[in-house]
């Protein structure tokens, strides 16, 4: 089976992330959205909320599963039987950053990284911008998947 890991913190999961996963399903038989645990980083959304958002987004897509992990992405990817790492690229700066990581990951594990360019309308979308909009009680609904818009809005209003 051709299985990819799509790692990230996903705080929160955006329409850009959703689009990369959906397009990745044209290449891979299965995609594991892997939410990394970083004990030094406090997110806007809890790990449970992030997992729920992603599961809800793909509730009708059995070829997408969601898991958490800590430590090296390549070690987790190998542990769960992934053949590739999937990453999305928005800008040339993303490429330079991701290229270096992909080369080290290849040397360490033999796993290849597949890059998908984001669609033009998602180029400015990233989790930091979405968090900032939500923190200031703005409407970020166009930047998060439809399946979770109301829930993200409700949680953000409680802050």
Active site amino acids: 17, 41, 90, 127
Cβ neighbours around 149 below 10 Å, total: 16
Q: Are 29 and 3 in contact (CB under 8 A)?
A: yes
DSSP, res 82: -
What's the CA angle centered on 91, arms 90 and 94, to 5 degrees?
Answer: 85
Q: Are 13 and 54 in contact (CB under 8 A)?
A: yes
Instruction: Give rounded-to-5 percent helix, strand, coil for the chain.
Output: 45, 20, 35
């Amino acid at each position: 089976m051709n299985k990819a890991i799509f790692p990230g913190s996903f705080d929160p999961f955006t329409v850009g992330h959703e689009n990369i996963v959906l397009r990745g399903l044209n290449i891979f038989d299965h995609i594991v959205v892997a939410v990394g645990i970083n004990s030094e980083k406090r997110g806007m959304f809890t790990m449970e909320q992030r997992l729920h958002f992603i599961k809800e987004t793909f509730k009708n897509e059995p070829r997408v599963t969601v898991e958490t992990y800590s430590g090296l992405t390549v070690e987790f990817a190998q542990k769960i039987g992934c053949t590739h790492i999937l990453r999305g690229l928005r800008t040339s700066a993303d490429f330079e950053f991701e290229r270096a990581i992909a080369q080290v990951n290849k040397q360490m594990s033999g796993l290849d990284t597949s890059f998908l360019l984001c669609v033009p309308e998602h180029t400015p979308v990233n989790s930091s911008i979405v968090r900032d909009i939500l923190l200031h009680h703005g409407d970020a609904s166009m930047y998060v998947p439809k399946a979770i818009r109301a829930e993200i809005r409700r949680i953000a209003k409680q802050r």
